[in-house]
Structure 1
């Protein structure tokens, strides 16, 4: 976990008193955008998937293969609950984290959820650049992502802030989030 010694920033008219949790499909840029957003806000950044791997002593792919998705999701919920505690920070979650009712309820109650959303073409391009995505293993990425989006997008829409990511540098999404935070009530 990266630590930042700066005090938590104040948004116009109010202090930032809770973590910002980025949710959305795999490949949308939650980790990259999250790191950049944390720098802009002067907050620590944590990637929930990296923290899960540290806690388990194995990769997410190994957890899926060895214990199955249900076991992984239980550990994921516990790690996210731990990450939400304490000082405000920016947290990037795995694509399926917000789909779990208990995890989603925790995030909505204790954090500010930001849904990063992108068109399937953008997601397919981005996931093709990185190995180790268990849900895509041996499958057509476009088909899997389209099917997942049909199920997940209505749930992601429960996040109070919705940011569309486009085929542009991730800094564009960071700017959109900063504007949304300025307007957040």
Structure 2
């Protein structure tokens, strides 16, 4: 079995929910990388971005990814943009199963619109409308998700438990 299971994908595709369930089933610790960074810095992602810009957050994200490349027996949920750190992704991918949770653009927009964390914890990356931002970022990131993923599962129409079952079948 893989020593690490890494969940990648855009915001609101179910990475944290699925990750917690999967970790419980495997008896592994679960780490949401964004939450880990917030705890480590003692500030929200929004605060980090407001103080130092997205480059400050991305630098912390790269550092955290390098830390977890050294650890095994865990389920790690990455932020949507973590795949842009290609060297860190290559290191994380060693001895890991990388699962890409995807969803249609319309589903992502609808989920983000309903999620109160969108306004308080998820600062805009582009200053565009939510729909324009999601479409633009997905067009840039999907090739990277595809490159790094060992397994792609659409979270559209599946319960978190069904997604976990699919991952466990592969393991």
**Aligned-residue CA RMSD in angstroms?**
1.8
Q: How big is each residue's C-alpha offset from its partner over 1:47-93, in whole Å with a ceiling of 9 and x where there is no partner?
A: 11111011111110111111111221111111122233333100001
Residue of 139, 144, 169 corresponding to 1:155: 144
Unpaired segments of 5 or more residues in structure 2? none
1:130 and 2:119 aligned:
no
Name the structure where helix makes up a greater proportion of residues.
2
User: Contact 2:99–2:151 (CA<8 Å) still a contact in 1?
Assistant: yes
* TM-score normalized by the length of structure 1: 0.82
Any idea what SS the aligned residue of 1:22 has? Answer: strand
* TM-score normalized by the length of structure 2: 0.88
User: Contact 1:77–1:102 (CA<8 Å) still a contact in 2?
Assistant: no
Match in the other structure for 2:20: 35
Aligned-pair CA distance for 1:110: 4.8
The whole-number CA distance in structure 1 between the counterparts of 2:65 and 2:134 is 24
Aligned-pair CA distance for 1:134: 1.2
User: Contact 2:10–2:138 (CA<8 Å) still a contact in 1?
Assistant: yes
1:145 and 2:130 aligned:
no
Aligned-pair CA distance for 1:166: 1.0
Unpaired segments of 5 or more residues in structure 1? 1-15
